[in-house]
Amino acid sequence: MEFETYYYFIFLGAGFLSGFVDSIAGGGGIISVPVLLASGMPPHIALATNKLQSSFGSFTASANYIKKGLVSIKDVYMGIIFTFIGACLGTYSILLLNADLLSKIIPIMLVLIFLYTFFTPKIGKEDRHHILKPNLFYFIFGISLGFYDGFFGPGTGSFWTIAIVMLLGLNLKSATAQTKIMNFTSNVVSLGVFIIGGQVLWTVGILMGIGQILGAYTGSTLVVKKDVTFIRVFFLSIVGITILKLLYDSYLAN
């Protein structure tokens, strides 16, 4: 596909904003996917290209969090393995199942996450004792959220973050760092499937990926420097915007 020159500047800017938002609270797709669709791309090509550019951002944020010591691969390798498996199953299931039911249910689940986080202001401020053993946690949520991200996707980062805070007892900074590693894992799996299917627009995806790298590095560096209160406010804001968009898409757009 060919685009007017100004569109390429829009793609670059959207990649930056998406990477910035996604590295802090997840939900970067609420910026990037509408931009891709507005350019006239068919939905399947827009989703495939979005996975390419978001892989750049999630990798950059993950690498920065590892470098800054917020997360270690040896602590989350079980999560990576099970997320990979779940994402493979979820991406394959796109070919077999209908996502309409999920599109109706997910906004409701995100509302519950938003309300829980809003009305428990102390959650995520500091580490607590874990409720689930890490390996059991990564098995359950790696399979389930990996499947969900491969199959449908919106809100995955929010689900990961709140689950890690509630059940592993980590603070919001550490939970955000772990979330990006899991996001990168499921992004790469979905991207692989889309590449095999020949659905990716490489020029647009790589250009947005450059923006993603810059945005993700800026956002993840901000997380390291800021306190938990900033992350909590940003998290609630992005979850709220995601809820509104999904509610509109699922119930009002039709």
The string of pLDDT tens digits covering residues 95-154 is 666 656 656 776 777 787 778 777 776 766 777 788 899 999 999 999 999 998 887 777
Q: How far is it, in rounded angstroms, from Cα 77 to Cα 83?
A: 10
Q: What is the DSSP string of 198-241?
A: T---HHHHHHHHHHHHHHHHHHHHHHHHS-HHHHHHHHHHHHHH
The string of pLDDT tens digits covering residues 168-182 is 999 988 999 999 999
Q: What is the pLDDT of residue 133?
A: 92
Closest C-alpha among 242, 228, 89 to residue 159: 242
The string of pLDDT tens digits covering residues 25-56 is 877 888 888 889 888 888 778 888 989 999 99
| 140 in Cβ contact with 159 (< 8 Å) | no
Domain ranges for the chain: 5-252
Q: What is the pLDDT of residue 101?
A: 63
Q: How far is it, in rounded angstroms, from Cα 84 to Cα 95?
A: 18
Q: How far is it, in rounded angstroms, from Cα 226 to Cα 230?
A: 6
Closest C-alpha among 62, 50, 60 to residue 205: 50
Please tell me which residue, 73 or 251, carries the higher pLDDT value: 73
Give the mean pLDDT of the chain. Answer: 86
Q: What is the pLDDT of residue 139?
A: 96
